Amino acid sequence: MPFLFLIDNSQRSRCDVVLKLAPVDINVEIEQIFTCAMSTTRFLANQKPNGSAYVIGDVGLLTALHDRGYAINETNPDCVVVGEGQLLNFEVLEKAIKLIIKGLDPNCPTDSGVRLGCGSTVFFLEVASGRQAYAGKLSPLAIPSLKDLIHDIENL
């Protein structure tokens, strides 16, 4: 029976998730991993194939964007994509006020307590830009991407 691991974290790539599961004897193929970054990038690729993005996020989001043909552009992007990441500062935020995505957690539990989630970053950008975010990992716009992936797996 086909199955997927749905990952609600844009920091890790699918390969990272496979490697993280292996030591606890959960052996899966990379095709069985679906991340929120993949959902976002599928949506973007349907809206504007081979576009460009300014990214606030980590390797999982960057990998998913590259896999969909998106270029990273810090000066004139087609959109701004916000995900989890460690490199957040005011310079990064100031660059990001062109386009915004939404549907993300305001905070995230960690082993050492709670830290800010990318929902807090998006809220900051919405207030600063005066614009509402458009799509995100918890958005209804993500559902078609997941349905497409399930269809692809069933037809392997």
The confidence score (pLDDT) of residue 60 equals 92
Q: Which residues is 72 bridged to in the sheet?
A: 53
Write down the pLDDT at residue 113.
Answer: 78
CA pair distance 125, 127, nearest whole angstrom: 5
Does the pTM exceed 0.75? Answer: no
Least Cα distance to 40 among 133, 127, 120, 152 occurs for 133
- pLDDT in tens for each of the 156 residues of the chain? 778 888 888 888 999 999 999 999 999 999 999 888 888 888 889 889 999 998 888 899 999 999 999 999 988 888 888 887 777 666 666 666 544 443 455 666 678 877 666 677 777 777 887 877 766 555 565 566 666 666 655 554
> Is 51 within 8 Å of 78 (Cβ atoms)?
yes
Cα–Cα dist 129/24, whole Å: 44
What string of DSSP letters covers 78-91? SEEEE---S---HH
Q: What was the pLDDT predicted at 154? A: 58
pLDDT at 144: 64
The beta-carbon contacts of 149-154 under 8 Å, at least 24 apart in sequence, are 149/4, 149/34, 149/38, 150/2, 150/4, 153/2, 153/4, 153/31, 153/32, 154/2
Is the Cβ–Cβ distance between 128 and 121 less than 8 Å?
Answer: no
Bridge partners, residue 33, by sequence: 5
Q: Helix, strand, coil: what percent of the chain each, to 5?
A: 45, 15, 40
**What pLDDT is attached to residue 19?**
96
**What domains sit in the chain, N to C, each tagged with a CATH number?**
5-154 (3.40.50.1000)
- Return the structure tokens found at 39: 């959902």
For residue 79, what are the β-bridge partners? 53
Beta bridge partners of 107: 116
